[in-house]
Amino acid sequence: MSVVRWIGVWVALVAALGGISDAWGDEPVEYTIADAPRYDYYRDADWSVIDRLPNMIGDYFGGTGIGFQGTATIDRLFVVANDLDSPNPLPGGGTVLMITEPGPVGVFSSTVGSVQDIQQLLRTAAPLPAATQVGTIADNATVTTAINVGQIQALVTGTPEAFDVIPVAAPPGTYQAVVDQGFQARNTLAGTTQFNASNSGAILQGGADTFNGGEDLDAFYFYDYQVAVNVVSPAAGTGGLGRSKFAEGGSLVPRDRVMFDYGNYGNVITSGGVRLNRFVPGFEKTFLGGMASVEARFPFAANVATDIMTTGMGATNQGDAAFGDIGIYGKVLVLYRPTHLITAGLGVIVPTAEATSVTLTNGMPLLRVDNDAVYLQPFVACAWTPNDRFFAQSVLQLDLAANGNRVSVNTDGTGLTQAGRLTDANHLFWDVAFGYWLYQDNRRGATGITGVAPVVEFHYTEAITDADRVTAGPFQVGNFAGDLHMLNIVAGLQTTFGAGHNLSVAYTGPLTGDANRQVDAGLRLFYSRQFGAN
């Protein structure tokens, strides 16, 4: 359903409150910010929606998960077929050059990564770095050029500098078989051996600027050991803790309170899933005579999977204690009647969580996504309490990324370099809660249990824009799962104690399939201590 249709449904719901409320016999009196003193007086004079409305409990929103796919080059070896004598006379100009000399041929490791590196060293008369032989190929030394003799002659004479690189075709399969044995002996990760044609080539010995026949060539064949990578990590901009929503412990009524939110969520979205234990202390302070408030939430967790170790396919999640993104919410009571109210506000999610990283188990860094994004969350909410037992409340909220997160990728095995910015999808949240007070002690100064209400909540999340992807070399980073359309249920119990104590205990779980769920199930505990009149 489009965002316009959702907003239309919600507006119709709010509009219906007025008519339903009048049908229940409410006085047609509205209380707005300008009536703050009357609002306080009315609240003390009668048992109203303010007294009957608990906080919402909320579900879990993890943001848009990041997929990281591609091929990582983790090792490189090369074969040298040297002192290859070109025929004299040369074959016709349209013929490719083929030379074979007796072997064997060596397989080497070195700090040079390409024939172009060797060319640069030769042109500057710098010494070639030491190479370590890691294997021997019991076959002939051979070269077959990828261009014909006439093209080789034009290449050599057409550049002012010496040591031109002549493109070559792949050598015999016996070369790759021995190189693969060398890779397997040097690496613990499962991978494949690939001939790297762009990094390979032949060079005329001595820096000859002509090619007429009888010159010696050295052929350098470079091979890569590549690991396929397919990893799912937590969303950028969450630090692995998920992103705050107003409905997670949010009160539609401005209140003076301190609060503590705990969530235990199973199989949080990563390549292996983790059980996340998240803790969110916070506070709320009213102003404008109790008609408005500001609150702050400070999430942290004991086992966040943001530093992900992988063998390429799947991941070994590294769970550590970490701080999440701070959520700040301001709201104002824009309309108040004895049995219903409307609240509006804005949330700002501040990027205080850690970056997300993916590293191979051999220690090679592959990906880093910094936590840079600020999220704006405007919302409007309404509540209805037609009698002293039943209550219903609903929140319509947007989640808007104000900017993106920096992405750094190791495209060639030499280290991380910035590849772009990844911007999360924008989302719409629609949260609805229904409850019924089985017991409520309305006396002022009452002690012990003063209220018990079973509650059921439905939380719908819809992506209203597409998430970004960043392409860097052989890698892609971004959302590969498609747009999110998630529906969660929360079922629990609201209990009030004495003067201003509230405890919410609930279960949350998905009502949508695997493609549109971010946790399997979760335990929700929320405690708040209210001060003052509201």
pLDDT digits (tens, 9 = 90+) for 82-103: 999 999 999 988 999 999 999 8
Q: How far apart are CA 341 and CA 352, in angstroms?
A: 34
SS3 67: strand
SS3 255: coil
Residue 32: pLDDT band by 50, 70, 90 thresholds?
Answer: very low
Nearest CA-CA partner of 356 in 347, 366, 364: 366
SS3 199: helix
DSSP conformational letter for 449 = E
Using a pLDDT cut of 70, give the percent of the chain over it: 87
DSSP conformational letter for 468 = P
For the segment 235-258, the average pLDDT, to the nearest whole number, is 88
Q: Which one-letter amino acid corresponds to residue 130?
A: A
* Distance, CA of 224 to chain centre: 29
* Distance, CA of 485 to chain centre: 17
DSSP conformational letter for 139 = S
Nearest CA-CA partner of 414 in 365, 368, 369, 367: 365
pLDDT of residue 325: 94
For the segment 178-182, the average pLDDT, to the nearest whole number, is 97
Using a pLDDT cut of 90, give the percent of the chain over it: 61
Helical (H) or strand (E) element with 117:
helix 115-123
DSSP conformational letter for 424 = P
Whether 44 has a pLDDT exceeding 50, the answer reads: no
| Contact (Cβ atoms closer than 8 angstroms) between residue 524 and residue 504 | yes
Other Cβ atoms less than 10 A from the Cβ of 447: the count is 10
354-368 pLDDT tens trace: 888 888 888 899 999
pTM, entire model = 0.82
SS3 509: strand
Q: How far apart are CA 229 and CA 312, in angstroms?
A: 4
Nearest CA-CA partner of 99 in 177, 59, 152, 35: 152
Q: How far apart are CA 250 and CA 225, in angstroms?
A: 52
pLDDT of residue 27: 45
Residue 376: pLDDT band by 50, 70, 90 thresholds?
Answer: very high
pLDDT of residue 2: 53
Q: How far apart are CA 414 and CA 18, in angstroms?
A: 65
Q: What is the DSSP string of 258-274?
A: EEEEEEEEEEESSSS-E
For the segment 326-350, the average pLDDT, to the nearest whole number, is 95
pLDDT of residue 17: 47
Residue 36: pLDDT band by 50, 70, 90 thresholds?
Answer: very low
HSE of 445, CA atoms in CB hemisphere, 13 A: 0
Contacts of 412 (CB under 8 A, 6+ apart): 73, 473
Give all domains of the chain, ordered by start, each with its CATH number: 29-65+258-531 (2.40.128.130), 71-229 (no CATH)
Q: How far apart are CA 144 and CA 168, in angstroms?
A: 6
For the segment 166-192, the average pLDDT, to the nearest whole number, is 95
User: 74, exposed or middle or buried, with CB in 10 Å at 0-12, 13-18, 19+?
Assistant: buried
Vertex 355: Cα angle to 354 and 356 (nearest 5): 120
pLDDT of residue 13: 52
SS3 531: strand
DSSP conformational letter for 21 = H
496-528 pLDDT tens trace: 998 789 999 999 999 987 777 778 888 999 999
Helical (H) or strand (E) element with 151:
helix 149-157
Whether 253 has a pLDDT exceeding 60, the answer reads: yes
Nearest CA-CA partner of 265 in 252, 253, 279: 279
